[in-house]
Amino acid sequence: MEKIRRIAILGSGRLGRGIAENAATKGYDVTLFAQGAGSQNAPYRIERSLDKKLEKWAITEGEKRVILSHINYSTDLKKLVDADLVIEATIDHLYTKQELLRTADRLCGPNVIFLLTSATLCVSEIALSLSRPNLLVGARFIPPVVDTTVVELSFSSDTSKDAINTTKEFINNLGKKPILVQESPGLVNPRTLVTLINEAAYLLDEGVSSAEAIEMIIIGSWSMQQGPFEMADRMGIDIILNWMEQLQQVYGDRYMPAPIIRRYVQQGRLGVKTGIGFFRYNEDGQRIDNLDNKQEEN
C-alpha cells in the first residue's frame, strides 16, 4: 500500500468535521466534501473548534493557521481522483453510503482504501456494491473525534490484511487506538450509547425526574463529562432515533425508542443543530439553560 498523505472525507457534519480537524492536526492534507444539510457551516465550525483550543492555550495562532491550511472544501466529487484514502462520514442510510462509495470506486486510484464509519451498517453489506471489497474497512470514529482516543475497527471476510494494517497505522497516526470488533449492526459504542440515552429518555417521559436531575445523577455516578441527554443533543436526536429504529429491526424491541424521542424529532427539537433538544444551546453549541419534560413545545 502507498503512503497516505491526502485524505478525502465524504460528509461535513459533526463526524466528518471532527475527522478532518484531527487529520489536519496530524499533518494530513484533507478535502472535506460537503454532503447534506448544514454542511455549509463546516469551515466556521472547524475554526471555532480550533479557537476554543487557542483560548485554552492548547495550540498557538500559528498552529491554528497551519491546521486550517491543510483543509480544503469541495462539492466536486471528481476531486476524489487525488485521494490516497477515502472516509465516508454520512448519515447511516444504506443507499446513500452505497451510492457515494460507488462513485468513489469509479473515480479513485486502484489502491485507495475506503473507510466506512457507519454506526449501524456492516462492512459486508456495503462491500457488495464495490468492485474492490478487499479495500473496504469499517472504522467507527466516536464523536467528539478530536477528544476520543479509540476507534472501532471491523471488516468483512473479503477485506485484505494489507488494508486492515494500513488502516491501523493511519488511526495510530491520528493518536488513537484501533480496537478490533466483529462486524455487527451497532458495534459496541453505538449500541451501548443508545441504550443509555433511551433508558434516560424513558425515565424523563415517565416523570421519574427532570432532564437536569437525571443528567446530574448519571454524570456524578460514573464521572462522565456529559450525560445521555447532552450526548444525544450533540449527536442529533434525529440521528439517535435513526440508529434505534435500525437496531430495533435487527435486535427487537429492546431498542424501541422512548416516545419522547419521537416527539422531539417530530417537533424539530434535534439538539445543538436546532438550538433545542433536551436542553437549549447557543450558536456556538454551548448550553444556555435547562429544560425538562414539562416544558415540551408543541
pTM of the model: 0.93
Quote the CA–CA distance of 279 and 290 in Å, as a whole number. Answer: 5
Quote the CA–CA distance of 231 and 221 in Å, as a whole number. Answer: 16
User: In the structure grid, which three cell numbers stand for residue 12, read together?
Assistant: 461535513
Whole-number pLDDT of residue 112: 97
Extract long-range pairs of 265-271: CB within 8 Å, 24+ residues apart: 265/237, 265/238, 265/241, 267/296, 267/297, 267/298, 269/237, 269/297, 270/236, 270/237, 270/238, 271/232, 271/233, 271/234, 271/235, 271/236, 271/237
Whole-number pLDDT of residue 29: 98
Whole-number pLDDT of residue 1: 62
pLDDT digits (tens, 9 = 90+) for 32-45: 998 655 567 899 99
Ordered by start, the domain boundaries in the chain are 6-180, 189-292
Instruction: Select the CATH number that applies to the domain covering 189-292 from these four: 1.10.1040.10, 3.40.80.10, 3.30.70.20, 1.10.3720.10.
Output: 1.10.1040.10
Nearest CA to 126 out of 142, 115, 141 is that of 115
Whole-number pLDDT of residue 297: 42
**Between helices 259-266 and 189-205, what is the axis angle to 10°?**
90
Nearest CA to 239 out of 295, 193, 280 is that of 193
CATH topology of domain 6-180: Rossmann fold (3.40.50)
Q: Are 218 and 200 in contact (CB under 8 A)?
A: yes
Q: Are 10 and 16 in contact (CB under 8 A)?
A: yes
Residues of the chain with pLDDT under 50: 292-298
Whole-number pLDDT of residue 289: 72
pLDDT digits (tens, 9 = 90+) for 165-197: 999 999 999 999 999 999 999 999 999 999 999
Whole-number pLDDT of residue 39: 62
Whole-number pLDDT of residue 21: 98
N- to C-terminal Cα separation, the chain: 55
Q: Are 168 and 160 in contact (CB under 8 A)?
A: no
The one-letter amino acid at 107? L
Phi, psi at residue 108, to the nearest 5°?
-85, 160
